[in-house]
Amino acid sequence: MNRPTRIPAFGALAAALLILTACSKPADGGPAAAASAPSVLTVDLTSPTTLQWPQTIQANGALAAWQEVIVAPETGGLRIAELAVDVGARVKRGQLLARLADESLLNDLHKQQALVAQAQATLEQATSNMQRAKLAEGSGGLSAQTVEQYRITEATSRAALASAKADLDATQLQLRQTRITAPDEGIVSTRTGVLGNVVSAGTELFRLVRQSRVEWRAEVDARQLALIRDGQRAHVTLPSGQAVDGQVRLVGPVLSTDTGRALVYVALPTDSAARVGMFATGNVELPATSALTLPLTALVSRDGRDYVYTVDGAGKAHSVVVTVGRRQQQRVEILNGLPANARVVAGGGAFLSDGVQVTVTAAAASAASH
């Protein structure tokens, strides 16, 4: 009587066990569940590469003339008769810049020439008298005192001729100085002379950028100053965005007592777009050092921090916080946070999140296996 009722009870128990087993499999978290997780992105992998990169020092500073030349007349009291060049003109050494009126000096020149001729004639007469006196002295016709007087007259006449010639030379020099020429080649940066104005000696008429050389005067602190040497390369970015390469010409020997900063003088090419008075930013290259680098595309910036995504053996992506340094040639230096053998997602990291499943391309997988 009891046997028929036991079989249905056993069957019901077995069915319940099967249902429980089936329900427990999805929550197991084992390999089968991992394999069923969908891939969110197909990615290429890359590994950090060690390169030799120069260190750089960032700086700001003004552009100034290598040397300025002030052009002023050496003689005064004369009127400006001609201004031959204007601002921006490129001039050569000896080129005429301005001319002063020379009429009064020409009159003085003629006068001095006449005085020289007069002194020359007086000397010739005194010399002739001295020669006759010497002949007469031998025959006893003239006293020694008279002969001495002729000798003194000749010496005085010779001195008067020398003085007249010196005055003539001075007048000729003043006449040449009415032509104001460029002492060196360069660019006219300012012109303060006014046509018709009577100028005195030393009055500034022009100012030149000597040899058209413009330099960047970068401001650096004491720590940076100790690393910079003459001859190092520099890269300057002008306000227009144009980049200009230069070279450190001189490292300032002192620091300002007001700012605590020193100047580094960087010579720029004469044919560049750099102009005196611009304010530019740039950097100075220091000797090269090793840098662990990744492509810039592998870097993800989020919430003020920098990340890269690595991929483990099971194909899961993991975000890693890194500290970055220099950036050059579309690559970025990784200072810390990443081992040298890491398998890093080369691009598209912005679409990933920590722990998601990714698919590695066949080429990347093959490279990783080797």
Same domain, 349 and 252: no
89 and 186 together in one domain: yes
Q: Which domain-ending residue is among 161, 189, 212?
A: 212
- 185 and 81 belong to one structural domain: yes
Residues 260 and 308 reside in one and the same domain: no
The last residue of a domain, from among 286, 317, 332? 286
Residue 14 lies in a domain: no
Q: Tell me, yes or no, whether 354 lies in a domain.
A: yes
Residue 206, in any domain of the structure: yes
Long-range contacts of 230-237 (CB under 8 A, 24+ apart): 232/284, 232/285, 232/286, 233/54, 233/284, 233/285, 234/266, 234/282, 234/283, 234/284, 234/285, 235/282, 235/283, 235/285, 236/266, 236/268, 236/274, 236/280, 236/281, 236/282, 237/280, 237/281, 237/282
Query: What secondary structure does DSSP assign to 131-187, as a single string?
Result: HHHHHHHHHTSS-HHHHHHHHHHHHHHHHHHHHHHHHHHHHHHHHHTTEEE-SS-EE
Q: Which residues of 6-40 are buried (b: 16+ CB within 10 A; e: fewer)?
A: eeeeeeeeeeeeeeeeeeeeeeeeeeeeeeeeeee
> 148 and 249 share a domain?
no
Range with lowest mean pLDDT among 29-43, 163-177, 334-348: 29-43
pLDDT given for residue 6 in this prediction: 41
What confidence score (pLDDT) does residue 125 get?
92
pLDDT (mean) for 30-44: 64
- Is 8 part of a structural domain of the chain? no
**Residue 208 is assigned to a structural domain of this protein:** yes
Quote the tokens at residue 320: 């890693």
Do residues 308 and 257 both lie within one domain?
no
Is residue 208 located within the same domain as residue 263?
A: no
Q: Are 364 and 273 in a shared domain? A: no
Are 109 and 220 within one domain?
no
Report the C-alpha gap between 99 and 84 in whole angstroms.
8
Each residue of 81-120: pLDDT tens digit?
Answer: 999 999 999 999 999 999 999 999 999 999 999 999 999 9
DSSP class of residue 296 equals G
Residues 50 and 45: their CA atoms lie apart, in Å, by 16
How many domains does the chain fold into?
Answer: 4
Residue 109 is part of a domain; what is its CATH number? Answer: 1.10.287
Higher pLDDT, 5 or 166: 166
Give the domain CATH number at 78: 2.40.50.100
CATH at residue 222:
2.40.30.170
Q: For the chain, how far is it from start to end, CA to CA, in angstroms? A: 73
CA 193, CA 296: separation in Å to the nearest integer?
A: 57
DSSP 108: H
Q: Is the pLDDT of residue 22 over 70?
A: no
What pLDDT, on the 0 to 100 scale, is given for residue 281? 96
Assess if residue 238 is contained within a domain: yes
In which residue are the tokens 């960047």 written? Answer: 216
- Of 258, 286, 314, at which residue does a domain stop? 286
| Same domain membership, residue 81 and residue 186 | yes
Q: Identify whether residues 152 and 239 lie together within a single domain.
A: no
Mean pLDDT for the stretch of residues 174-180: 95
Residues of the chain with pLDDT > 90, as a percent, come to 65
CA-based torsion, 350, 297, 46, 302: positive or negative: negative
Provide the pLDDT for residue 133. 83
Residue 47 lies in a domain: yes
> Is 186 a member of any domain?
yes
Closest CA to 222 of 255, 189, 184: 255
* Cα(108)–Cα(24) distance, integer angstroms: 123
Q: 348: domain range?
A: 36-53+290-369
310 shares a domain with 281: no
Region 132-148 average pLDDT: 76
pTM for the model stands at: 0.65
Please determine, for residue 258, whether its predicted confidence score (pLDDT) is greater than 70: yes
The pLDDT of residue 5 is: 42
Confidence of residue 139 (pLDDT cuts 50, 70, 90): low
